[in-house]
Amino acid sequence: MLRRLILLAIATSLVGMPALAKTVRTDTIRITPLEPPASGEIPKAAENDISLESAADQEDAADDSVVKAEDVPAPQVLYDVTALPTPVARMHDQLLEAATSGNIERLRMVLESNEMPPTLSLTEIVDPIEFLKESSGDPEGVEILAILADTLDAGFVHTDVGTAQEMYVWPYFARYPFSALTPEQKVEMYRIVTAADFAEMETFGVWLFYRVGIGKDGTLHYFVAGE
């Protein structure tokens, strides 16, 4: 029930978004350049052109940052957690131990030991454990612990190697092209989500269920669902 509510809320927020404008053919108009002012200041029209060009560049960069799973090549899927860097392995083990304990307060200690508060929601929250309890299908937060445990037991990927965003991401489906999934991989995936959940995510081309991201220094960056 929790999974479908998450996906339904995300899908609802996307309904009604304006369609992209159609491309309109334009003709080039040759304009005789003006003589530069003696003061060396940039003419007003030129300043506006620079501002518009800068805004267009920023918009293109923002568009490029949103990458659907279908737009990237299939990354290498990893399963051997013993090969993880020591700080990453330590955080992974602490999270998994807290998740399988059945006591969500055990997770509080792990979160508070983190270098920075991890992202648990796409909106602002006050108390992380209370938020996770509210997100769970039961009042004690056991379901959310089970989701965390299943996520950490799945295969993972090592992303953005050599950059400031280098990270280990569970499950690998969050960074894997859906069209490249084999029947065996779909069996792995259906241990985390239902076929109905996946059908909804496939519509948007992105993984919308829970995922975990741990930096190479062992910092937990997120345990979050949504886009």
- Cα separation, 83 vs 92, in Å, equals 12
- Using alpha carbons only, how large is the chain's radius of gyration in Å? 23
Residue 146 is which amino acid? A
- For residue 70 the two structure tokens come to 């279908």
Per-residue pLDDT of the chain (227 residues; tens, 9 = 90+): 555 545 544 444 444 444 433 344 444 444 444 454 454 444 444 444 434 344 444 344 334 333 455 556 789 999 999 999 999 999 999 999 999 999 999 999 999 999 889 999 989 899 999 999 999 999 999 999 999 999 999 999 999 999 999 999 999 999 999 999 999 999 999 999 999 999 999 999 999 999 999 999 999 999 999 87
Say how far apart CA 142 and CA 2 lie, in whole Å: 12
Q: Cα(first)–Cα(last) distance of the chain, in Å?
A: 19
| Residue 226, pLDDT score | 87
**C-beta separation of 69 from 206 below 8 A:** yes
Q: Of how many residues is the chain composed? A: 227
Full-prediction pTM beyond 0.75?
no
pLDDT at 24: 40
Cα separation values, 4 from 20, 50, 59, Å: 28, 46, 32
Name the maximum alpha-carbon separation found in the chain.
Answer: 76
| CA 160/CA 213 separation, integer angstroms | 12
Quick check: 150 and 189 in contact, CB under 8 A? no
Peptide bond into 171 cis (omega under 30): yes
Q: Whole-angstrom Cα distance, residue 108 to residue 55? A: 42
User: What stretches of the chain adopt beta strand conformation (E)?
Assistant: 157-159, 167-170, 211-215, 220-224
d(CA 60, CA 54): 10
Angle ∠(70,144,161) on CA atoms, nearest 5: 40
95: Cβ–Cβ under 8 A, 6 or more apart, which residues? 107, 110, 148, 152, 212, 220, 223
